[in-house]
Amino acid sequence: MKKIITTLIAALQLVTVFAENPDSIAYKHGYAEVNGIKMYYEIYGAGKPLVLIHGGGSTIQTSFGRVIPLLAQHHQVIAMELQAHGRTSDRNADLTFTQDADDVATLLQQLHISKADFLGFSNGATTTVQIAIRHPEIVDRMILGSPLCKRDGVPEQFWGFMQQASLSNMPAELKEAYLQVAPYPNNLQVMHDRDVKRMLDFKDIPDDQLKAIHAPALIIIGDKDVITPEHAIAMSRLLQHASLAIIPGVHGEYLEEVTTLKSGSHEAVYVVPMMEGFLGK
């Protein structure tokens, strides 16, 4: 217990130091012209590339703000905001996981990154799966945080909720984060509506495509996640080289995603070392 508390204090101090002095870790950011959109990206630290892909309705910081300072100690962390999210522009087309996968691959090509590890959360995990299917040559290892690959991977009532989704019931933390960084804040409704339509249009990823993925995978979900344990177990058996971890908490709590911070659980203190062990820091 004493060791856990000491590690927790050290991790919190690291996050605080980074927030007060971001120059303590190598950092740069910019935009790239990617398949008709202006894509925003950030790069932290040095070492083997680790690509972070955020969840729906999110920004880099809302999904990964608490873990970037920890991961950037041993990796070159590359994070981007996908179509219509955060600082990245929209295109006159619906959101799809396949297009997001192609956008990430194109960005990495422009950044001269030929191969990387990946950490995707929620929708970003599903995008990561599509990257492994469509661009396997760029994927070394992948961490899939709460991935959805089949419609029955969530409770049936999830789809009813999505049919009734409106901007008014979008989490306040995500709305505030978008408004803080987006060049065109009035496009919040556009992002929301595109995310909802993508989920309503979601189709199962075929088993044969999942079985063909060779990249080692670590699947992580919370025990109170929107993704069901049964789906996570099925995924771990479909992928050729997969491990599964079920962590106490709700969707994204293991990453200290912004909507979970009120729990005060600080799960990243033991989840990040587990991820580092899988990646082989």
Domains of the chain by residue range:
2-279
Mean pLDDT for 253-264 is: 96
What pLDDT is stored for residue 206 in this prediction? Answer: 98
Instruction: Report d(CA 37, CA 32) in Å as an integer.
Output: 8
Instruction: Assess contact for 76 and 43: CB atoms under 8 A.
Output: yes
Q: Closest Cα to residue 219, out of 122, 130, 144?
A: 144
At residue 247, φ and ψ (nearest 5 deg) are: -110, 140
Instruction: Assess contact for 192 and 217: CB atoms under 8 A.
Output: no
What percent of the chain has pLDDT above 90? 90
What pLDDT is stored for residue 25 in this prediction? Answer: 81
Instruction: Assess contact for 57 and 193: CB atoms under 8 A.
Output: no
pLDDT over threshold 70, residue 29: yes
Mean pLDDT for 98-110 is: 98
pLDDT over threshold 80, residue 6: no
Q: Closest Cα to residue 122, out of 181, 202, 208, 185?
A: 202
Q: What is the DSSP letter of 226?
A: S
Q: What is the DSSP letter of 204?
A: P
Q: What is the average pLDDT value for the chain, to the nearest integer? A: 92
At residue 101, φ and ψ (nearest 5 deg) are: -60, -45
Which class is domain 2-279? alpha beta
Tens-place pLDDT, residues 38-93? 999 999 999 999 999 999 999 999 999 999 999 999 999 999 999 999 999 999 99
Cα of first residue to Cα of last residue in the chain, in angstroms, is 25
Cα–Cα distances (Å) from 117 to 8, 25, 49, 108, 218, in that order, read 25, 20, 6, 12, 11
Instruction: Assess contact for 47 and 38: CB atoms under 8 A.
Output: no
Instruction: Report d(CA 203, CA 218) in Å as an integer.
Output: 23
Q: What is the DSSP letter of 202?
A: -
Instruction: Report d(CA 114, CA 260) in Å as an integer.
Output: 34
Q: Closest Cα to residue 125, out of 150, 113, 108, 142?
A: 142
- Sorted by sequence, the CB contacts under 8 Å of residue 136 that are 6+ apart come out as 213, 214, 215
Tens-place pLDDT, residues 160-202? 999 999 999 999 999 999 999 999 999 999 999 999 999 999 9
Instruction: Report d(CA 114, CA 119) in Å as an integer.
Output: 16
pTM, full prediction:
0.92
Q: For Cα atoms 136, 141, 147, give the angle at the middle one, nearest 5 degrees.
A: 85
What is residue 189's three-state secondary structure? helix
